[in-house]
């Protein structure tokens, strides 16, 4: 355990640094300074985060350009005619209908709330294993409108469907984790790093299995919890920092599952 912790800490130090940003979707919110712009651009970038990272970044930047690179101002003040360009937006299975509903929800939310954090905290308590409830509540809130398209539900994962919720957990890592390394933003204060669940994508899953941190055959919500609980043994206050190590080894070092 001590050797594995030391090894993971070294990998965190290697990848949790500013030069990680450029080639990662987190580079999109790093183009903004205003809190709400960081939240909005980050939420879209995380939502679109499947496929090649370069494409994810380019499509996210395309979407921000359609909002005049002032997403918060756009969401709060756009007119119906301003939405016409979004009818041409598409990334993989995320299409114009999905884009317009995301804009609709975020517009309604920001006209009533200062931060997107309030959408993730209904039902919040200080207990560590709270994320399953919070993500379920967020999913219900996101689709509470009568006009919410059924097809768009697949783009906002929920533990209630046993999804690993990789993209939304990644977004929460960006917003919640606090350190001096310059990658994650740490602009939310109610949720704590201890409550986060590790984003479990294909790279993290593969490396986690090779290191004996994952034993479940499936890759689902329970797998993400298993990984996170094992990482808490190394740092109970900030287990998700090891996402840098696992993802970095999976993408940069091409570590494979040897089991």
pLDDT > 60? residue 152: yes
pLDDT > 70? residue 257: no
Q: Confidence band (pLDDT; 50, 70, 90) for 93?
A: very high
Structure confidence at residue 132 (pLDDT): 98
What would the mean pLDDT of 157-178 be, rounded to a whole number? 97
pLDDT > 50? residue 16: yes
Structure confidence at residue 259 (pLDDT): 45
Structure confidence at residue 230 (pLDDT): 98
List residues bridging with 152 in a β-sheet: none
List residues bridging with 91 in a β-sheet: 94
Sign of CA dihedral 185, 189, 194, 200: negative
Tokens 């960081």, residue? 38
pLDDT > 80? residue 108: yes
Closest CA to 79 of 59, 114, 107, 60: 107
Tokens (6 digits) for 177 = 């984790």
pLDDT > 90? residue 1: no
Tens digit of each residue's pLDDT (9 = 90 or more) over 34-45: 999 999 999 999
CA-CA distance, 122 to 142, in Å (whole number)?
A: 12
Quick one: what percent of the chain has pLDDT higher than 90? 96
pTM recorded for the entire structure: 0.96
Structure confidence at residue 172 (pLDDT): 98
What would the mean pLDDT of 142-167 be, rounded to a whole number? 97
The answer for 51, left when phi > 0, alpha when psi is -120 to 50, beta otherwise, is left
What would the mean pLDDT of 64-77 be, rounded to a whole number? 98
Structure confidence at residue 252 (pLDDT): 82
pLDDT > 70? residue 258: no
Closest CA to 200 of 157, 233, 235, 236: 157
Quick one: what percent of the chain has pLDDT higher than 70? 98
CA-CA distance, 218 to 207, in Å (whole number)?
A: 15
* Composition of the chain by helix, strand, coil, percent to 5: 60, 0, 40
Kindly report the average pLDDT of the chain as a whole number: 96
pLDDT > 90? residue 256: no
DSSP state of 248: H
pLDDT > 60? residue 63: yes
Contacts of 229 by beta carbon, 8 Å cutoff, 6+ apart: none
CA-CA distance, 55 to 51, in Å (whole number)?
A: 7
Tens digit of each residue's pLDDT (9 = 90 or more) over 205-254: 999 999 999 999 999 999 999 999 999 999 999 999 999 999 999 998 86
CA angle 136, 209, 133 (to 5 degrees): 10
Which secondary structure element, helix H or strand E, spans residue 40, and what is its range? Answer: helix 35-47
Separation in Å, CA 28 to CA 31, 35, 64, 199, 254: 6, 13, 9, 18, 25
Structure confidence at residue 243 (pLDDT): 98
pLDDT > 90? residue 96: yes
Pair 223, 216: CB distance under 8 Å: yes
What would the mean pLDDT of 100-125 be, rounded to a whole number? 98
Q: Confidence band (pLDDT; 50, 70, 90) for 131?
A: very high
């Amino acid at each position: 355990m001590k050797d594995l912790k030391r090894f993971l800490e070294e990998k965190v130090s290697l990848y949790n640094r500013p030069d990680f940003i450029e080639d990662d979707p987190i580079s999109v919110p790093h183009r903004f300074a205003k809190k709400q712009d960081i939240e909005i651009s980050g939420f879209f970038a995380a939502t679109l985060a499947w496929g090649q990272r370069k494409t994810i970044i380019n499509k996210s930047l395309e979407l921000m350009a359609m909002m005049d690179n002032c997403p918060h101002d756009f969401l709060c003040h756009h007119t119906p005619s301003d939405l016409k360009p979004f009818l041409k937006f598409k990334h993989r299975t995320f299409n114009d209908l999905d884009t317009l509903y995301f804009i609709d929800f975020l517009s309604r939310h920001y006209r009533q709330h200062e931060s997107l954090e309030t959408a993730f905290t209904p039902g919040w308590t200080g207990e560590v294993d709270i994320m399953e409830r919070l993500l379920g509540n967020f999913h219900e809130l996101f689709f509470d409108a009568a006009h919410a398209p059924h097809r768009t539900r697949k783009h906002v994962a929920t533990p209630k469907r046993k999804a690993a919720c990789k993209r939304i957990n990644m977004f929460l890592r960006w917003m919640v984790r606090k350190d001096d390394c310059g990658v994650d933003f740490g602009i939310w204060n109610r949720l704590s790093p201890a409550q986060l669940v590790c984003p479990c994508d294909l790279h993290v899953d593969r490396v986690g299995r090779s290191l004996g941190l994952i034993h479940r055959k499936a890759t689902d919500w329970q797998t993400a919890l298993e990984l996170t609980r094992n990482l808490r043994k190394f740092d109970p206050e900030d287990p998700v920092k090891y996402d840098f190590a696992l993802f970095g080894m999976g993408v940069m070092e091409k570590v494979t599952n040897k089991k």
